[in-house]
A and B are shown apart, each in its own frame.
Chain A
C-alpha cells in the first residue's frame, strides 16, 4: 500500500529493522517413513509481509503449516518466531509466541456460539486465574467484559456481529471461513497463517476475500503467509511467492518471476507444450 519511497509512518513499518524477520524458517525437513514431505524449506517473513505458498496437491504446503505451528516436529532445521526458537514447542506455546492459523478443512468449535469461538481465541491473552473465575472476582469480570468487547469488535470487522449467538456449525460456509480468521486474530498474533481461505468460494466471494485479507493485514498489523490454490488470488495480493513441489522448494520470488519460472510451469502443467505462461 502507498508509495514505497514515502516516509514510513505506521507502527508496523517503524518496527521493521534491516535484518528483522518476524518469522525465519531455515532448512526445515520432515519425512513420514520413506516419504520426504518437506525438504530443506526456508522462508523469511518481514513485518507486515503478505507472502504466498503455492504448489500442486500433495506438494507439502499444509505439512509446512503443521511444522510451523508445532503439530509436527521438524526432523531438522530451525524456525524462529520474533527471535524465539520455536522448534519442539507445543502448538499452544507457539500460539502464545504469536503465531496463529486457520485450517484447510474448517475446524471451528461447532457446538459453541460464534462469539464463543472467537473468545476461545482470546483465552490466551487472559490474565485472571481459574480460581478467580470461579470466585468471579472483580478482576475476572472486568477481564471477561474486555474479552467480550474485543471479540465483538472482531466479529463486527468480519460482518458477523449479528450472528454472534448462533451456533458456529449453522453458519454458511463463507462465514465459517471468516469466523476462522476472526478466531485466529483473537489470539493477537504477529504471524497469521491462512490455509486455503478461498477454498469453496465463488468468484464474487473471492474478490471480497482478497480485499479482506489486505484489510486484515493493515488493520491488525499482522504478517500473513497464505496457502492458496486460486492462482488469481495469490498473484494478485502476495508480494512474494514460494512454490513447493514434492516437498521441495522449486521457486521463490515475486509473482511475475514465479509465473515465468519454467519449473513452476512444469510442476503445474506437466508437459513442455501447453505453456502459455
Chain B
C-alpha cells in the first residue's frame, strides 16, 4: 500500500514548511532534534522492546552512521562535485532565508544517498556485532553492546585530522591530493568531525521519524512482529513454536542499527552539532534507553511520546537553571516508581482503556 508512505511524505513536508514559517531557529532545531530522537527511540524499541534483548550500544550505531554519512557529504561531495560546500535546495538545511532556492537543489538526493550509506554501514556493523553477541542473554548482551559503543568511541578518537583548507590550499585541492583510503580515517579524532555541510532539515528529520514509525508499526502488527514479541515473552516457547530466535534477534538488531545510522547521519548534519566521539559513548546510549523505558518497552507510540518529552523537558527546565538536571532526574525516578512499565506499558496509545472508551463513546458506543 502506497498511501501511508505518501502520508509520511506529506507529514514531513507540512512539518518542514509549516515549522519553518512559524518557528524561530531555536525551536526549529529543537523540532529537528525531536525527529531524530523519535527515530532513535523507535528503532531501539525494536530490539529492547520487541525482542526483549537489552542493547546498551545504540549510540555506537548512531555515531557510525553519522560519521559514514559525514564522510559522504564532506569528502564525497569534494570528489563528486569538486566542492565541500552544501548544495542547497528548499528541502535541505535549517537557515531560514530560502527565497530563490530551487525546490530540489541536487543536495537533497546526495544527502538522501549519504543517509542511506550511514544506515547501511551501521546495519552491516549491527550484523557483525549482533551475530555472535545475540547468542548471549540478558546482562551479558548488555555488557557486550556497552563495550561495542565504547570501542566505536575509542576507534573514532584515534582517527586523523579532518582535511581542511590550510597552507594556501583549499580543502578541495587537499582532498583531491589525498589518497582515497586515507579519507575515511580523517574524521577529526577527539576534536570531532565538525565542519560537515549542515543538510539536516525539518523535512529529513521528520521523514526519517515517520518512516521508522511506519516500519516499526507494520512489523509489530505482522507475523514477524509477533515472532519478535514471542522471543521477549518466552524464548524457549518461541523456539519450540518454530521461531528461529537467533535469526530474529539479529534481524531486529540490524534493522534497529540501520535506523540508528540514519538518525546519526541526520544528527551529524544538524546545524550547531559537531559530531564527536562522545556521541558513541554510553551517556548517549543511556539517553536513548531512557526514552524507550519511559515510553514503555514495546510501545511505539510510547517511544514517540517519550522522545518528545525527553527532548523538551530539559529545555523547559532551563528557567530554573542549576536545578534543571536534578528536576529532570527526579521526574524520571518518580515516573519509574509510580509507573514502572513506562508511560504506555506494552500497549499503543490507541489501545489504552481510557482512549478506547473515549473513542468508543464518540462512535456512539457498542
What residues make up the interface of A, taking CB atoms closer than 8 Å to B?
Answer: 69, 71, 90-93, 95-96, 100-101, 103, 107-112, 116, 119-124, 126, 130, 133-134, 136, 140, 143-144, 147, 183-184, 186-187
Residues of chain A within 8 A (CB-CB) of B229 are 109, 111-112, 116, 120
Contact B239 A91 (CB under 8 A): yes
Residues of chain B within 8 A (CB-CB) of A111 are 229, 233, 346
Residues of chain B within 8 A (CB-CB) of A147 are 223
Residues of chain A within 8 A (CB-CB) of B223 are 119, 122-123, 126, 133, 143-144, 147
Not counting A92-B240, A93-B244, A133-B219, a sample of 12 additional A-B residue pairs whose C-beta atoms are within 8 angstroms of each other reads A71-B240, A95-B239, A95-B241, A95-B242, A103-B240, A109-B230, A109-B237, A112-B230, A133-B222, A134-B215, A143-B223, A144-B222
Residue B359 at the chain A interface, CB threshold 8 Å: no
- 3 cross-chain pairs, A with B, having the tightest CB-CB distances, nearest first: A124-B242, A95-B242, A109-B233
Contact B226 A120 (CB under 8 A): yes
Contact A133 B218 (CB under 8 A): yes
Contact A100 B241 (CB under 8 A): yes
Measured between C-beta atoms, what is the minimum distance from A220 to chain B in Å?
16
Measured between C-beta atoms, what is the minimum distance from B43 to chain A in Å?
14
Q: Out of B1, B218, B239, which one reaches A92, CB within 8 Å?
A: B239
| Contacts A116-B226, A133-B223, A136-B218; A109 near B242 (Cβ below 8 A) | no
- Interface hub of B218, B219, B234, B240 (most chain A Cβ within 10 A): B240
Residues of chain A within 8 A (CB-CB) of B219 are 130, 133-134
A120–B238 CA distance with the chains assembled, in angstroms: 8
Residue B224 at the chain A interface, CB threshold 8 Å: yes
| Contacts A109-B229, A109-B234, A120-B227; A100 near B222 (Cβ below 8 A) | no
A134–B217 CA distance with the chains assembled, in angstroms: 9
- Interface hub of B219, B222, B227, B243 (most chain A Cβ within 10 A): B222
Residue B251 at the chain A interface, CB threshold 8 Å: yes
A206–B39 CA distance with the chains assembled, in angstroms: 52
A106–B226 CA distance with the chains assembled, in angstroms: 19
| Contacts A133-B223, A140-B222; A96 near B242 (Cβ below 8 A) | yes
Residue B90 at the chain A interface, CB threshold 8 Å: no
Interface of B is mostly: helix
Q: Out of B218, B227, B233, B244, which one reaches A90, CB within 8 Å?
A: B244
Contact A107 B237 (CB under 8 A): yes
Residue B155 at the chain A interface, CB threshold 8 Å: no
Contact B233 A121 (CB under 8 A): no
A-B contact list, 26 entries, CB within 8 Å? A71-B236, A91-B239, A91-B240, A92-B242, A107-B234, A107-B237, A109-B233, A109-B234, A110-B233, A110-B234, A111-B233, A112-B229, A112-B230, A112-B233, A119-B223, A121-B241, A121-B242, A122-B223, A124-B243, A126-B223, A130-B224, A133-B222, A133-B224, A134-B222, A140-B222, A184-B241
Residue B245 at the chain A interface, CB threshold 8 Å: yes
Contact B245 A92 (CB under 8 A): yes
Residues of chain B within 8 A (CB-CB) of A130 are 219, 222, 224, 251
Interface residues of B in 294-330 (CB under 8 A from A): none
Contact B224 A136 (CB under 8 A): no
Measured between C-beta atoms, what is the minimum distance from B96 to chain A in Å?
35
Q: Out of B230, B244, B251, which one reaches A120, CB within 8 Å?
A: B230
Residues of chain A within 8 A (CB-CB) of B226 are 112, 116, 119-120, 123
Contact B242 A107 (CB under 8 A): no
Q: Out of A92, A136, A184, which one reaches B243, CB within 8 Å?
A: A92
Contact B240 A95 (CB under 8 A): yes
A109–B234 CA distance with the chains assembled, in angstroms: 6
